Structure 1
């Protein structure tokens, strides 16, 4: 998985949010664990190339990020909370017999409204888990890149990769 932040996939009126990664399997470098770039949540990187949303940062920056990144190593049941702007990616699974599955959930502030419908519909979308619902959006000052809706229900297709669970040799449409 190439280096990316989660907010550009699902832009909201403000960026108060976290991504939760629940490890369903043990994770280490051998099975391609996630790698996080510390401090990157305070930086902004485009996910566009030649005017098209590519679902990752500029590949020319990957070596720089590799030099800064920490491996997210843990046991099944461990949880990682990260800012929605934290750059993260992961290497290929080099093991022959170990999965690296994660349950991924995003949580946003109640006053953060989506700029566009989510690419992956969910019955939990806009469900309030703490605080009170509101009809008033809080806006983050500044500018934001807006992607065109993409046909894939996964960022793997945007990055030109096979989605998890697809057999080798199957083309990603």
Structure 2
């Protein structure tokens, strides 16, 4: 069984639990090597929105935690093969940087690499309401090949808690990478 590498970026938008749950779900999958990069703003959001010690726990679950300022890290190069990348949550600042090719942090550089190498880049864009600039940036990254998937809950499986909603959104994001496993998210059955 070959190992699949996945990059997870957590940016500073509200919804840090989404990125945390994605790292947890990936850690539970066989033959997945997770590379984590967390923006400075995300560190603050993780502290505000998640239980104490969450970042330390996530760095322990990831195969490798890359400092956001290390633009020379392995995940900054197209020669480092990965299956794809998920940015969850994806702030509008991060979305804008990706849309305009601004690669001044490892998170945005790694996302840029996914686009140039024609790999999957899943962006859980987190903002509401949206103005025209947000929408244009979403169109721009979509035209470049990214998958914009706002973390909108599915209610057809009748979630009973916020944790179930977060888990389903995380599973759907992972499923968009088309990893070699059964889909994680519960599907609509009609």
| Common fold: TM-score over 0.5 | no
Relative contact order, higher structure (CA 8 A, sep 6+): 1
Normalising to structure 1: TM-score of the pair? 0.29
